[in-house]
């Protein structure tokens, strides 16, 4: 089944996953999808054609699901908006092989743990993303809902982040004077 939408979102940096979960519960949000590990593989053509055009082609694994996503060029406005098309594939290896046959190969990889929250009767969704570079609350839904919900949670428009995880990671690497690499959790020694 494929899904086509216009994604409308903002990210907000938060300090503590535990405190954020408690705050969301206090504000009436309930977990709609439990915390789960995600691996994201960004695909591109040689020379970064897709990235350089402001678009994204990604294959994401969430548990046993394989989700292919295309994101279009950003639409100007007060929030991050862009066309989004998604569909599920049955096999990660076969999916990546199909895209490789068309010239699209992995260009960057990032990981996160995501928990999704919703408040009954509301049109939007909150995602708590724990990443190797920090924790972010991502609000996705109608523009008015984004602003009202952010305000209800104690945030202002000045807290909004419109950058992708790739750009946030690039900034993080530059600030720490590290070479750009995949945004993955460090392997723990046994």
Residue 4 has pLDDT above 80, yes or no: no
Q: What is the pLDDT of residue 187?
A: 73
User: What pLDDT does 77 receive?
Assistant: 86
| Residue 32 pLDDT greater than 70, yes or no | yes
How confident is the model over 78-93, as a mean pLDDT? 93
Regarding pTM above 0.85, the answer is yes
Compute, in degrees rounded to 10, the torsion defined by CA atoms 87, 88, 93, 95. Answer: -30
Q: What is the mean pLDDT of residues 136-159?
A: 96
Q: What pLDDT, on a 0 to 100 scale, did the predictor assign at position 188?
A: 58
Contacts of range 115-119, beta carbons closer than 8 Å, 24 or more positions apart: 115/21, 115/31, 115/33, 115/34, 115/35, 115/36, 116/31, 116/32, 116/33, 117/24, 117/29, 117/30, 117/31, 117/32, 118/29, 118/30, 118/32, 119/27, 119/28, 119/29, 119/30
Partner residues linked to 148 by β-bridges: none
Closest residue by Cα to residue 10 from 66, 82, 63: 82
In this prediction, residue 189 carries a pLDDT of 52
Instruction: Please state, rounded to an integer, the average pLDDT across all residues of the chain.
Output: 93
Label residue 7 by pLDDT band (50, 70, 90).
confident
Q: Where are the domains of the chain?
A: 2-175
Residue percentage of the chain with pLDDT more than 70:
96
> Is domain 2-175 in CATH 2.40.320.10, yes or no?
yes
């Amino acid at each position: 089944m494929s899904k086509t939408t216009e994604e409308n979102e903002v990210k907000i940096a938060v300090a503590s996953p535990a405190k954020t979960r408690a705050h969301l519960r206090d504000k009436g949000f309930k977990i709609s999808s439990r915390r789960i590990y995600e691996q994201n593989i960004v695909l591109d053509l040689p020379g970064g054609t897709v990235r350089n055009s402001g678009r994204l082609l990604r294959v994401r694994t969430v548990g046993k699901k394989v989700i292919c996503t295309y994101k279009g060029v950003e639409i100007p406005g007060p929030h991050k908006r862009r066309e989004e098309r998604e569909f599920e594939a049955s096999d990660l290896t076969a999916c990546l092989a199909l895209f490789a046959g068309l010239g699209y190969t992995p260009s960057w990889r990032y990981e996160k743990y995501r928990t999704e929250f919703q408040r009954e009767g509301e049109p939007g969704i909150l995602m708590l993303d724990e990443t190797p570079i920090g924790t972010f609350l991502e609000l996705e839904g109608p523009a008015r809902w984004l602003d009202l919900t952010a305000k209800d949670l104690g945030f202002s428009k000045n807290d909004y982040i419109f950058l992708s995880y790739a750009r946030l990671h690039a900034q993080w690497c530059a600030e720490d004077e590290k070479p750009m690499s995949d945004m993955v959790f460090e392997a723990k020694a046994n």
